[in-house]
Amino acid sequence: MKSLLRIQALAFNTFREALRNKLLYTLLGFGVLMIGSGVLLATLSYVDVDEILQDVGMGAIRFFSAGIAIFIGIGLIHSEVDRRTIFTILSKPVSRSEFLVGKWAGLTITVWLQLGLMAMAFAGVSWMAGAPLGADHAVAIALIGLELMVLVAIATFFSAFTTPMLAAFFTVGIWMIGHLSRDLRALGERSEVESVSWMSDLIFTLVPDFEVFNMTLQAVHGLEISAGEIQLAIVYAAGYTISTLLLGSMIFSRRDFK
Amino acid sequence: MASERCAVIRVDQIVKDFRPGFGLRRKRVLHGVTFEVHEGEIFGFVGPNGAGKTTTLKILMGLIRPTSGSASILGCDVSESEFRNQIGFLPENPYFYPFLTAREILDFYARLCGVDSRSRAERVSGLLEVVHLSHAADARLRTFSKGMLQRVGVAQALINDPKVVFLDEPMSGLDPIGRKEIRDVILALRAAGKTVFMTTHILHDVEMICDRVAIIVNGTIRHQGCIEDFLPDATVSTGIVLSQLPAQIAVEMEERFSVEMRGLGERVELTIPAKRVQDVLEMALAAGAQVISVTPHKGSLEEVFLNAVREEEGSG
């Protein structure tokens, strides 16, 4: 219970700090602008106008939210060490794991909040354009929220032991590979070179499959999103987040703060 | 007296190696540091820059792991975190979230320490009063001077009413009034039965408030013990200020008693070996001079400290 209260205090403080980050508003602004620009892009086509509008909107939400999660997340721990604010925090009865989880929770709440704002912009633009809106759209956006939760955990993990530059490089790389890993695996299966096939399998196993959280196609084209797919995404997100934070805590616990 | 009390901080043969860069070479910064701090005392940890004071303190705070050796506070190994509810820590040049107010940052630390919501506001207000920051309680920390931030640092170190308080250069950046205030806080902590471990460069403060001292030079403890042991009772030299001293007598004094003489307008200041005070005073009074002041000069901690550093440089 005491541990939860400490994590809550750290998360709330991280949330307050993240809200003061200008990058958040810059990316949020661009995201909303991109969602709005879907109206213009849709006018270029005579068919599937609503689909283009919503496809662009969902893509913008995913891309700019991921940008916020990555570029605020990578400096999350590093800035605390750099400014030495971590010294006074860790001298209190706060374990390093609690510190890491608190930072992750604070940023996850922040990205969920901005996701909510982008979702409202998306709904507003869709409503004004007369595009259909249903529960599937809400589910697709909620799954983006799960993807962001995993992404923040990965950014926090790298931030726990490396520089922001390297953390950004690794996190962006994993996010991009994570969206392409199914294609990579399919290519590997077709390859006649055994090592290529073996390597693509390894990448698919190690790197989170972010396509599990991508239900844009189903939502935009009115296809059904099954309960099984939602359950899989929830379990997958929880599993990856917990294991990433556990590994991060283990590394972070061994770190010296000179 | 102090040695009869139980040890609340034990540091036993601590060695710390750092690896500069990516190479395999290691640099040893602490060479088997050993000392104890007893309950209810103010312990001064003194040393030149780079001697290993902050590294030792960071090991005690669990921020750095020792290469070998052990350290415990209140009987608990420093790698644990739960006992930290009973300690407070002020790092050197503390930095806090600039977007928070003094009240908010103290409330944040109180939450981390598990101070219950009913007593939190009261505790925060009380501490702001102790460090004389009540007037700036709701101002953002970005507007605070270095001295004010230092006082916020002291307040956060006391937020959980700790048994042991660690202060890294607590007087750093403070004006004379601020230093006096922090000194008073430290003395009040001792009066309340708390144990205080402080590192500082300001030896005058150590002389004034510390019960025991350890001097660390190049990662090795050179001296440790009660402050009285460092300050010899015997007077080393005496300063005498005289007026109306005839020039001829002054020259004679210089020759006979190895007196160092300095003119101060119509007055003259003499620095003489302690054992010749009687002779010089008799001679001066016989010559019709007037004695303005007689000041015995004793050995200081600064001399002990400088000697320890010189010894180390000599052996190095």
The answer to whether residue B66 neighbours chain A at the CB level (below 8 Å) is no
Distance, CA of A228 to CA of B59 (rounded, Å): 50
Distance, CA of B80 to CA of B274 (rounded, Å): 54
Give the CA radius of gyration of chain B. 25
Q: How confident is the model at residue B2 (pLDDT cuts 50, 70, 90)?
A: very low
Q: What is the DSSP letter of B143?
A: G
Contact (CB<8Å) B91/A92: no
The answer to whether residue A81 neighbours chain B at the CB level (below 8 Å) is no
Distance, CA of A52 to CA of B69 (rounded, Å): 66
Determine the distance from the C-alpha atom of residue B121 to the mean position of all C-alpha atoms in its chain, rounded to a whole number: 31
In order of A63, A162, A220, A226, B91, the CA distances from A89 in angstroms are 33, 20, 46, 44, 11
In chain A, residues 128-187 whose CB comes closer than 8 Å to chain B: none
CB B26 within 8 A of CB A219: no
pLDDT at B315: 64
pLDDT at A66: 95
Residue B27 zone, left/alpha/beta (φ > 0; ψ -120 to 50; rest): beta
Contact (CB<8Å) B91/A10: no
Q: What sign results for the dihedral spanned by CA atoms B86, B175, B37, A94?
A: positive
Q: Where are the domains of chain A?
A: 2-253
pLDDT digits over B160-182, tens only? 999 999 999 998 778 888 888 88
Contacts with B83 from chain A: Cβ below 8 Å: 93
User: Which of A24, A77, A82, A88 to substitute to test the interface with B, most B CBs within 10 Å?
Assistant: A88
The answer to whether residue A10 neighbours chain B at the CB level (below 8 Å) is yes
Instruction: Answer yes or no: same fold for B2-230 and B235-298.
Output: no
Percentage of residues of chain B with pLDDT beyond 90: 48
CB B91 within 8 A of CB A87: yes
Residue B249, both tokens: 């007598």
User: Which of B112, B140, B142, B172 to substitute to test the interface with A, most A CBs within 10 Å?
Assistant: B112
Record: fold of B235-298: Alpha-Beta Plaits (3.30.70)
- What is the Cβ-side half-sphere exposure of residue B264, based on CA atoms within 13 angstroms? 10
SS3 B82: helix
The amino acid at residue B210 is C
CB B34 within 8 A of CB B41: no
Q: How confident is the model at residue A15 (pLDDT cuts 50, 70, 90)?
A: very high
Residues linked to residue B195 through DSSP beta bridges, in sequence order: B164
pLDDT at B233: 60
B303 has a pLDDT exceeding 80: no
Contact (CB<8Å) B65/A256: yes
pLDDT at B3: 46
Determine the distance from the C-alpha atom of residue B117 to the mean position of all C-alpha atoms in its chain, rounded to a whole number: 35
Give the DSSP letter string of B249-299. HHHHHHHHH--EEEEETTEEEEEEEGGGHHHHHHHHHHTT-EEEEEEEEEP
Residues linked to residue B16 through DSSP beta bridges, in sequence order: B30
Among the partner-chain residues A83, A87, A92, the one whose CB lies closest to the CB of B109 is: A92
Q: How confident is the model at residue B316 (pLDDT cuts 50, 70, 90)?
A: low
The amino acid at residue B276 is R
B68 has a pLDDT exceeding 60: yes
Cα distance from A40 to chain B (closest Cα, Å)?
A: 40
A10 has a pLDDT exceeding 80: yes
* Parallel/antiparallel/unpaired status of strands B267-273 and B76-77: unpaired
Contacts with A91 from chain B: Cβ below 8 Å: 61-63, 84, 87-89, 91, 166
The answer to whether residue A9 neighbours chain B at the CB level (below 8 Å) is yes
Contact (CB<8Å) A87/B82: no
Contact (CB<8Å) B112/A93: yes
* Parallel/antiparallel/unpaired status of strands B260-264 and B42-46: unpaired
Q: Which residue's structure tokens are 């990555």?
A: A70
- SS3 sequence, chain A? CHHHHHHHHHHHHHHHHHCCCHHHHHHHHHHHHHHHHHHHHHHCCCCCHHHHHHHHHHHHHHHHHHHHHHHHHCCHHHHHHHCCHHHHHHCCCCCHHHHHHHHHHHHHHHHHHHHHHHHHHHHHHHHHHCCCCCHHHHHHHHHHHHHHHHHHHHHHHHHCCCCHHHHHHHHHHHHHHHHHHHHHHHHHHHCCCHHHHHHHHHHHHHCCCHHHHCCHHHHHCCCCCCHHHHHHHHHHHHHHHHHHHHHHHHHHHCCCCC
Q: Where are the domains of chain B?
A: 2-230, 235-298
Contact (CB<8Å) A257/B83: no
Torsion of CA B227, B229, B230, B232, to 10 degrees: 120
Contact (CB<8Å) A256/B61: no
Contacts with B61 from chain A: Cβ below 8 Å: 87, 90-91
Q: ∠ at Cα B110 (B108, B113), nearest 5°?
A: 115
CB B253 within 8 A of CB B264: no
Contacts with A10 from chain B: Cβ below 8 Å: 112
Residues 6+ apart with CB under 8 A from A221: A51
pLDDT at A154: 96
Q: What is the DSSP letter of B6?
A: P
pLDDT digits over A228-252, tens only? 999 999 999 999 999 999 999 999 9
Q: How confident is the model at residue B74 (pLDDT cuts 50, 70, 90)?
A: very high
B235 has a pLDDT exceeding 70: no
Contact (CB<8Å) A17/B96: no
pLDDT at B55: 93
pLDDT at A215: 93
Q: What sign results for the dihedral spanned by CA atoms B223, B226, B229, B231?
A: positive
| Burial of A170: CB neighbours in 10 Å, binned 0-12, 13-18, 19+ | middle
pLDDT at B20: 75
pLDDT digits over A161-192, tens only? 999 999 999 999 999 999 998 888 888 888 88
CB B36 within 8 A of CB B61: no
Q: What is the DSSP letter of B29?
A: E
B25 has a pLDDT exceeding 50: yes
Residue A20, both tokens: 């003061």
In order of A167, A219, B42, B186, the CA distances from B194 in angstroms are 43, 64, 9, 9
pLDDT digits over B267-297, tens only? 888 888 878 888 889 998 998 899 998 887 7
- Domain formed by B2-230, architecture: 3-Layer(aba) Sandwich (3.40)
Contacts with B63 from chain A: Cβ below 8 Å: 87, 90-91, 256-257
Cα distance from A6 to chain B (closest Cα, Å)?
A: 5
